[in-house]
Amino acid sequence: MRIARNPIARLGLLAVLLAASIGAARSLYVDPRMRERRSLEIEEARLRGELEDLGQGYAAMERWAKEHPGEPVTAVAARRARPADHAVAAFLDALGGIAERHGIRTDRIEPVGAPEPKSALDPSGQTVSFRVVDLRFHWAAGYRELADGLREVEGLDQLVVVRSLAMRLVPESYPKLDVDVVVRVYGTL
């Protein structure tokens, strides 16, 4: 009972209760809201980037439409899947020229798994069947040569997607990098 009558002890007890309630409020209310705020800020940044990309794409379409009056925008050459029987061969032929122009040495090419059948809807709503082949390349190239070569691969009129890229610096081969690239090649059935 003496502790309850002591004003210093009561102030100390109140301070402990205040600190505990502030800690509980922070852990139960403030921290979750802060985490939610951070995740929303990240999502906002991602959406702003997408919006900017879409805006640039729209502006490019508008410029093209002004430069080519009367032609539909859909007439632009787009990346298309080649027939499945020739898709890999056509890609490797194109890649040979790209590698030669940019000084990329190919040490190894190997398939990643078996070819897979896939289906998708085209813009008219019809189902299109594809055969998908993943190819792993082991290259030796300088950083700029690699970037230029990959940019040219992405610019091919054939439907291919760079799925992964892993670079390693090997001191013995400097300034060349050891690069593993997985490219997905699409072919129509």
DSSP state of 70: T
- How do the domains of the chain map onto residue ranges? 2-67, 82-188
- Could you tell me how far CA 78 lies from the centroid of its own chain? 20
Determine the topology of domain 82-188 in CATH: Alpha-Beta Plaits (3.30.70)
* Residues paired with residue 58 on neighbouring β-strands, in sequence order: none
What are the average pLDDT values for consecutive 10-residue runs of the chain, which has 189 residues? 71 86 84 89 90 85 80 64 87 92 91 87 79 92 91 87 89 87 90
Q: Confirm if 180 and 165 have CB atoms less than 8 A apart.
A: yes
Q: How far apart are CA 108 and CA 180, in angstroms?
A: 9
Instruction: Report the pLDDT value the prediction gives residue 74, as an integer from 0 to 100.
Output: 61
**Quick one: angle between helices 143-154 and 84-102, nearest 10?**
150
What tokens appear for 76 in the block? 């632009």
Q: SS3 for 43? A: helix
Condensed to tens digits (0 to 9), the pLDDT of residues 73-111 reads: 665 556 677 888 888 999 999 999 999 999 999 999 999
CA pseudo-torsion sign 75, 80, 85, 90? positive
Instruction: Report the pLDDT value the prediction gives residue 23, as an integer from 0 to 100.
Output: 85
Element spanning 82, H or E: strand 82-83
